[in-house]
Amino acid sequence: MRVVFHTSGTTGKPKPIEADWDAMVDSAAGRIQLEPPCVLCCYHPATMAGLQVFAYCVKHDATLVLPPAGAGPDAMVQAGLDSEVTHICCTPSQIRRMLMGGADRIETIRQVTLGGEHTTQATIDCVVEAWPDARITHIYATSELGVIASVSDDCEGIPIEVLFDVWPGSYIDADGELVLWRDNIDAHYRTGDLFDIMNDRCIFRGRKDGVVNVAGVKVSPEAVERAIRERPGVAEVSVRAEHNWLVGHILVAYIVPDDNLDRDALNEWGRTNLPRPAVPVLRWVSQLPLTSAGKAPR
């Protein structure tokens, strides 16, 4: 069955998209068929992702657990504990927050499906550590095309052969943007997402429209954020570009430190390892806000 939705994705004006209903629904929870699943959906049910999880549960006779509206990570963890959920569907930002709140106490987890944002290796490692026997799936999707790739090998990025076997005729252009070939309409689709190829995998670098000019140099806040997230003692980080009268933009990193963070060492690491325009001003916070879609704000 083909369906048409109007969705805005993360931001922007609503636009119509056409999708195969069964493919869309099955992708929502990582295509796992454990019975009977009990799914903790951390997405708002009115979002595209939330709707997909809802439909998946209906189709597979699963129990759907929705945390209370506006629930923080602690309430989500509690909902998971109370209902003994077997699946969690959420963004990487949400799972990191939940793990900080003791989500590993939910011993019944068999599947974690992450989508809506890029999933870093550090995030995957944390989930594996919390639930060593669970299957972890991270999904790369666009609003227009739905799920592009679904990966469950505990590694960051998409294997090249997976991406280009499923999407023949697609390529990564000279700027690093992924361009997909849409067989059904004989046309290329520019994803706006930038990738690096490393160890035969496509690693998300950031949004093309997220690149900012700092003192005449193009800088990707998301790439800087990814680098900082790998540093020891960084529990959470969000790097944003702020308008600046002197240099166009300047990067500011909002960091939630854990007990082991050496702030001077992190400053020194930035000065030594990042290109100078990419060195952010550091702001220390106790918690990062998430958007209503459960994503880090940009």
CB of 264 to another protein, least distance (A): 10
Binding-site string for another protein from residue 268 to residue 287, where x marks contact by CB under 8 A and - marks none: --------xx-x-x-x----
With both helix axes pointing from N to C terminus, report the angle between 263-273 and 221-229 in degrees, rounded to the nearest 10: 130
Query: Residues 122, 125, 131, 134: what is their CA dihedral angle, to the nearest 10 degrees?
Result: 110
Nearer to another protein, 139 or 241 (CB): 241
Using CB under 8 A as the binding criterion, the count of chain residues that bind another protein stands at 15
Element (H, E) at 239: strand 234-244
Q: Which three-class secondary structure state does DSSP give residue 71?
A: coil
Site for another protein in 236-265 (CB under 8 A): 242-247, 250, 252
CB of 244 to another protein, least distance (A): 5
- Burial (CB count within 10 angstroms: exposed 0-12, middle 13-18, buried 19+), residue 289: exposed
CB of 275 to another protein, least distance (A): 11
Contact status: 212 vs another protein (CB under 8 A): no
Nearer to another protein, 101 or 248 (CB): 248
Site for another protein in 97-136 (CB under 8 A): none
CB of 163 to another protein, least distance (A): 37
DSSP secondary structure letters along 103-161: GGG-TT--EEEE-SSPPPHHHHHHHHHH-TTSEEEEEEEETTTEEEEEE-SS-SSEEHH
Query: Applying CB under 8 A, which residues contact another protein?
Result: 214-215, 242-247, 250, 252, 276-277, 279, 281, 283
